Amino acid sequence: LGPDEVRWFYKSDSDKRWIEFSGYDSLRIESKYRNVYHDWQYYNKYSNKENSSETYSEQYRIVVRGGMYEVDLNTCKCDSIYWPGEECAITRGIWFYDGSWIPVDTECSNILENVHLELFFGKKLSDYITEPCNKTPKAVLHTESFTEFHVDWYSPTEVYQYSEAAPSKLVRTFTQRLGFQKSTGYRLCRGYKVHATDYDRPVDITHLVFVIHGIGQKMDTGRIIRNTSAFRDCVTWLKQKYFASSENRVEFFPVEWRSSLKLDGDTVEAITPHKLLGLRQLLNSSAMDIMYYTSPLYGCEVQRGLLEELNRLYTMFTQRNPYFTSSGGKVSVIAHSLGCVIVYDIVTGWRSDLWQVNKCNSVELFNFCVFQIDNLFCLGSPLSVFLALRMRDPQAPGQVETILPPSLCKKFYNVFHPTDPVAYRMEPLLLRDYSKIAPLQIQAYNATVRIDYKDMPLEPIVPEITSSNDCSSSVSKHREGLEEMEADSPSNTPSKAWNIWGLMRWNKKPQDEAEGRGSPQFDALPAGHHQRLDYVLRETNLAGSYFSALTSHTAYWNNYDVAYFVLTRLFPDLE
């Protein structure tokens, strides 16, 4: 086979299936592989230098997957370049199962290839072609037996794998097109269905997204890497299905800030009682992160841990991609749970007075990375609760701009599951009247009719109905209230209302203030400024159950609705 007929694969971390490398990557891996194959005997025979194995290993490592990973042909592994802990197996595909094009196991594939070359090398394919009208059963040219199956060759292009187990009645069919009576097996194909080319390669990264975890990382080391990988797989699938022609490329970088922090030096573990030890250790490894962060002693250590990892990743990325910034590359952040609070505090420069008194063994102030956050996605975020507890009146004059300054990010999205017990809304913190307005519902990724979020009307929140008789009157009452607010909207020039984030603020007319009345009104918004902050996922059949409450906080990573929402916010031109 030529290098272009061979295809290399890596194993998905989420569902353990084989995923093909791009043609460009596969050709480069195959070229290196052939060099390794021919140089291997020479290397083992003549190389006895100290550290020669390390030199040899580096010589046959290939950067793949758009500069994000590296293949090691010695270990047959693919490792992440930017973050430790993510590793997957690779395989060289020569023989494949027809239809699915899943590569045959490496050991078996090598045996098949050797047998095939022994049978047909130097011979012509035309020697094995029979006339279509010839009904004579084809003879088996060769049979190769394995533990659980055997493989029969009828010609260079007709190779079948048969299970050694007795076939059931359901699968006991006959292969008439081959002219012989035998239980149907799997047809094996030599060479991949598509030839590899240098043109089949990913475009340069246009949008970099840092994914920041919340609590519990110490309890399950590497979870943020797996979650990011699962989310990346969702986005990749959606992009290939709906936006295959797009030249945009996004990459997601997991930011693991917890495992490097020592914090209390195991003091908490020492004072933990042994009764219900398993439950206590679970809490120490998860919920304790909240206490660490609110601690005047360890809070800024947590901030430093996240900041240093962000700076390390961004610096390493820009060194390997020197034209990213000049070519218009953008940076966004997806933060989950407590991670939303930490990244908010780092960017805005918030820290308590107690932190400044203790100085956390350091007098320097933190400096955020040099990039501007384009989009900040908060998933299952308790940020609004933390902010509410830091100020007595969040809606006092000037407070709104302090809470969400323009320097925080260009666009802010608070995404939550309706039963997530950790998540809170953001809009009512800034404008109290939004407690009566429902958050926007994130549309299904496969919706046939799609509405632009900025065109979605304000919908009143209808309280849960305990009696069916109260249902219609309750809905009617809330809708009438909303219509009344809309009807009172001034038709003249709008008054000066805060609209940095595009929220509608209800203002009082001057005569209302003089008379002590507070009829709420909508301010007209300038074009292009309307953007809501709160976005809720669709409810499932388990909504409201305790099981849903336990699982919803971590349900964002495999959710295709969330992935579609993020993808189309990163690249608005896709819709």
Angle at 36 between CA 31 and CA 40, to 5 degrees: 160
Strand order of the sheet with strand 186-190? 95-97, 186-190, 158-163, 149-155, 142-145
- Sign for the pseudo-dihedral over CA of 504, 505, 506, 509: negative
**3-state SS string for 150-186:** EEEEEECCEEEEEECCCCCCCCCCCCHHHCCCCCCCE
- Which residues are CB-neighbours of 344 under 8 A, at least 6 positions away? 335, 350, 383, 408
Q: β-pairing, 411-416 with 373-379?
A: parallel
Number of neighbours of residue 15 by Cβ within 10 angstroms: 9
- Nearest by Cα to 143 from 164, 173, 170: 164
DSSP β-bridge partners for residue 108: none
Q: Residue 337 catalytic?
A: yes
Angle at 405 between CA 536 and CA 340, to 5 degrees: 45
CB 318 within 8 A of CB 325: yes
The SS3 of residue 479 is: helix
C-alpha–C-alpha distance, residues 46 and 467, integer Å: 87
C-alpha–C-alpha distance, residues 326 and 40, integer Å: 43
Alpha helices in 361-470 (DSSP H): 383-388, 399-403, 427-430
The SS3 of residue 547 is: helix
- Sign for the pseudo-dihedral over CA of 203, 229, 314, 56: negative
DSSP β-bridge partners for residue 63: 70
C-alpha–C-alpha distance, residues 241 and 234, integer Å: 11
Task: Choose, from 285, 337, 384, 548, the residue flagged as catalytic.
Answer: 337
C-alpha–C-alpha distance, residues 283 and 214, integer Å: 14
Q: In angstroms, what CA-CA distances link 506 with 141, 403, 430, 482, 491? A: 84, 19, 12, 12, 14
- Sign for the pseudo-dihedral over CA of 438, 444, 449, 450: positive
- Which residues are CB-neighbours of 543 under 8 A, at least 6 positions away? 418, 419
C-alpha–C-alpha distance, residues 311 and 318, integer Å: 11
DSSP β-bridge partners for residue 153: 142, 159
Angle, helix 338-348 to helix 299-320, in steps of 10 degrees: 80
Q: β-pairing, 95-97 with 186-190?
A: antiparallel
DSSP β-bridge partners for residue 212: 255, 335
C-alpha–C-alpha distance, residues 107 and 360, integer Å: 56
Q: β-pairing, 440-441 with 18-20?
A: unpaired
Residues involved in catalysis: 337
